[in-house]
Amino acid sequence: MPVTMRSLKTAVPETVLVQSQVRDVFAAQPGLTRLGQRLVGTSFDYSGIETRYTAVEELTLQRRSDTPVFFDPESRLILSPSTKVRNDKFADAATPLFIEAASKAMAACPGITAADVTHVVTVSCTGFFNPGPDYKVVRALGLSPAVQRYHLGFMGCYAAFPALRAAKSFCEADLDAVVLVVTAELCTLHVRTSNDPDTIMGSSLFADGAAAAIVTARDLPSSSPGIVLDHFETVLTPVGEESMAWNIGDEGFEMVLGTYVPHIIDEHIVGALEPLLARDDAVQGRPYEEIEHWAIHPGGRSILDKVEAKLQLREDQLVPARETLRDYGNMSSATVMFVLKHIMDAPFAGDDERICSMAFGPGLTVETGLFTKSGAPTLTTTPAAASEPATV
């Protein structure tokens, strides 16, 4: 059997952020210049986002607290806790998200039990603690204490690809391997108010969420399609090193997301795809619109617009990415997994469908993957959903 993602599940925190309400809070913060207020309005309104989720319960904009840390609902002030306070919140709130997503992925994979898992790969760039999320997942799910554990930290929005690539390598080296990949990001822990355009852009986009997948080459029973992991490639663009970055400051992590990023992607996306598509005879020479699905990391609305225009894709090919952005925002490394889940859950007739996937991150790094949706046809035709309701 080829190395296949046999299950893919997601989880989000309970607190919902309505984009228009959050915009009004940020626009009303003291210290904003007129230009800053205009940038807040433009960034939030043009984001393509309607709702996001956050692990910061205070951001319900209603909950009262005697000792507010991130947001004071009474004064409507966005507060600025230290990096330590933010990271402590990460350790507390990220753990249940990692565990929930992982538990769902395990439960959704027939023929796999805790005793079968041989490797755990966890991913996050929004906080640190040790023993880390890989350890917490092993303990919570009752996995073998001898399971091989790996954590990919601080890589940014593209990090799901190195995790899936590692899972594929493990399964190719050991045909009996079963790899649990879990990514969780709490980007909203690092939100702050500022007149800086990069900070405002990040505040309008970033959100919290988690995703987990079971990857294996085992021949397992299944009544639903899986995603075969065919090929991966990595490309560094010749420019853009300082246009996208993720730094640690005294008051949280600081995102650099320059307005030139969509232009860099526009200029270099075709070249970034060439080494990936050249590896597969079935897609060589095919127009981009003939590849059925495009699982693009929705780093922002303008990035999706550039990808669609440059590759001359049909509008329907970007629906999974745009709907993920609309309903969940940019959850850094977890986001492309939500897009893949949208595609995985869509009605399937049983004929193989190709998926080209891309994510962008600091560097500027472009990670690409060529996959195949394959297996049993879908038994129902209920609309696909990017995520189940959260239970944490």
d(CA 308, CA 108): 33
Give the contacts of 200 (CB within 8 A, at least 6 positions apart). Answer: 26, 36, 39, 40, 43, 194
For 85, other C-beta atoms within 10 Å of its C-beta total 16
d(CA 297, CA 71): 29
What is the distance in angstroms between the CA of the first residue and the CA of the last residue of the chain?
A: 35
How far, in whole angstroms, is CA 387 from its chain's centroid?
Answer: 12
Specify whether 356 is catalytic: no
The residue among 95, 167, 79, 165 whose CA lies nearest residue 131 is 95
Q: Which of 157, 171, 187, 356 is catalytic?
A: 157
Alpha helices in 151-233 (DSSP H): 160-173, 197-205
User: Tokens in use for 377?
Assistant: 């046809």
d(CA 103, CA 96): 10
Task: Report helix angle 319-328 to 301-311, nearest 10.
Answer: 180
User: Tokens in use for 376?
Assistant: 């049993």
Residues 298/339, Cβ–Cβ less than 8 Å:
yes
The DSSP letter of residue 49 is -
Residue with tokens 């959903």: 385
- Exposure of 141 by Cβ count < 10 A (0-12 exposed, 13-18 middle, 19+ buried)? middle
The DSSP letter of residue 219 is -
> Which active-site residues does the annotation give?
157
